[in-house]
Structure 1
Amino acid sequence: MAERTGGEPQIDGRSTRWDGHKAQRQVELVDAAVALIEEEGSHFRMQRLAERVGLPRSVLYRHFKDRASFDELIRRRVVESFVKRMEPTLSFEGTVEESVHRVVGAHLDWVAQHPRLYAYMGVAEHAMGDGSLVADTKTAIALMLSERFSDVLAALGVKGAPIRSVAVGIVGFVDTAVNQWMRDPERELSEDELRAMLCRSVWAVLEAALRDFGVELTPQQRVADVEGA
């Protein structure tokens, strides 16, 4: 029992040690679940996870409030992996064309490498702005893109341009096209053809938006040169 030394009770060190152990155990179980999904698919059974980590299923459940909260932690881990892959590509280094290929390629590469995790995220079920973790992630990426677009436009003397809707539209288009391609049992495009189509389409949208703002850019122009102009 914790002793009192004054006005406030001392914290029992055993409880804090248990909290740390429980948090670490949760991380290990989420990692194991992600690995299981990668191998067997998004509709994994808790019994399979229990067998994988060597715990009775009843003990496994003690580490989480319920299955829904466990699924949310897994989904959060998957989203973190996706965002970690995407964030470095939003720097717009190199030419405009290279920048478009890098961002679109990062999205498609992650999905192609982790198709079962992508399915587990339930991307098609979440539209941007619906308040879900996946939707909020797509919105966050769109906002990061719009900030970079705004920086480039400001460097060209165009400030306060309504570019956010363009960024949201681009993210939504790429996401929807990739999702449909992943789910299509008879794909009309190869992965390379899809990549090329997405890059052409994104550039077409950007070029049209830039023209509306009185800006003319070519795909071969370097973004750094534009910003330094």
Structure 2
Amino acid sequence: MATSSASRRTDGRTARWAGHRERRRREFVDAALRAIAERGPEVSIEQVAEAAGVGRTRLYKYFADATDLQGAIADRAVELITAELAPVWNPRGTPTQMIQTAIDAHTGWLASHGNLYRYLTMHSLTARPGGQNAITDVKTAIAQRLTWLFDHYLREFGLDARVAEPIAFGLVGLVESSTARWLENPGGMSRAELAGHLARWVWQLLDGTLRAGGVELDPHRPLALPDSLAVPDGSG
């Protein structure tokens, strides 16, 4: 019986420590995000510790090494990006509104978190398990979501749904690469101007695909939404 009581006490301490450790890790990651925003993508561990109000050695009580911290930052960033891109996961309105809203969300996030985006492109490939790149993960999730949506509408219009995936991944690549380049070299173009150009290009590609199949869609008329906006199992 004594052994059982001791075991319960040990289990309780272990659970409390695990909860405390997870809370502190999250606090340190949030401090790292602040440091990245203020100091840039090449922020040092010392600067992260300074933002957290602790010494460098204190950080390493909660992270195995710099790579562990970088991986936690990447994971947290993916959570933030996913939340910001809600219009992509839940499209509403006319084709024009759907496209513009999604592009505004993407370009807006990138413009507001340029240093974090640069940090992720520099570090997340080696920091995350299996060498998964945080930016690539997000782009793939968006493209898979669009693939499902395009597949639905192409089938509704009686068109070849096999093109859904290539179009989806192509459009995501267009928007992401164009915005990333604009971030480094705006060339006097405002974010609103860039978003307007991207929305027009995206619609032209979609419209061209539909017209090739004999379908003319009014971009200013609301589309009937699928019965379920949940992505089917296995598609993202």
Please give the TM-score of this superposition, normalised by the length of structure 1.
0.85
* Map of 1:197 onto structure 2: 197
- Following superposition, the deviation at residue 92 of structure 1 comes to 2.9
Equivalent position of 2:101 in the other structure: 102
1:141 maps to 142
- How many residue pairs get aligned? The number is 219
**Aligned mates of 1:4, 1:216 — CA distance in 2:** 76
Coordinate RMSD, CA, aligned: 2.5
Give the C-alpha shift of residue 37 in structure 1.
Answer: 1.1
CA distance in 1, matches of 2:98, 2:137: 23
Return the alpha-carbon distance in structure 2 between the equivalents of residues 52 and 112 of structure 1.
23
**Aligned equivalents of 1:113, 1:225: Cα separation in 2:** 31
User: Cα distance, 1:156 vs. partner?
Assistant: 2.5
**Structure 2 residue 172 is matched with structure 1 residue 156:** no
Percent same amino acid at aligned positions? 32
Q: Secondary structure at the match of 2:85?
A: helix
- CA displacement 1:105-126 (0-9 Å, x = unmatched): 1111111122211222218x97
Change (3 A) 1:226 1:45: closer
* Distance of 1:85 and 1:203 partners within structure 2: 22
Match of 1:26 in 2: 25
> Quick check: 2:34–2:51 contact (8 Å CA) kept in 1?
no
State whether residues 103 and 199 of structure 2, in contact with CA within 8 Å, keep that contact through their aligned partners in structure 1: yes
- Counterpart code for 2:176: D
User: Which residue of structure 2 lines up, in the alignment, with residue 207 of structure 1?
Assistant: 207
Per-residue Cα deviation, 1:86-139 (whole angstroms, up to 9, x for no partner): 13344331111111111111111111122211222218x97xxx8423212211
1:58-97 alignment, distance < 5 Å: 58-97=57-96
Q: For residue 104 of structure 2, give the secondary structure of its aligned residue in structure 1.
A: helix
Counterparts in 2 of 1:3 and 1:154: CA distance versus 1, 3 Å: farther
Shift, 1:42, TM fit: 1.4
State the secondary structure of the residue aligned to 1:163.
helix
Question: CA separation of 1:131/1:114 partners in 2, compared to 1, >3 Å: closer, same or farther?
Answer: closer
List gaps (5 residues or longer) in structure 1: none
CA–CA separation in structure 2 for the residues paired with 1:52 and 1:189? 33
Moved more, 194-203 or 152-161: 152-161
| 1:218 maps onto 2:218 in alignment | yes
Amino acid in the other structure paired with 1:69: D
Match of 2:224, SS state, is helix
* Unaligned segments of structure 2, at least 5 residues: 126-130, 228-236
Q: What is the distance in 2 between the residues matched to 1:147 and 1:213?
A: 19
Q: Secondary structure at the match of 1:12?
A: helix
Could you tell me whether the CA contact under 8 Å between 2:143 and 2:165 is conserved in 1?
Answer: yes
CA deviation after TM superposition for structure 1 residue 188, in Å: 4.7
Q: Structure 1 segments of 4 or more deviating over 4 A?
A: none
Match of 2:170 in 1: 169
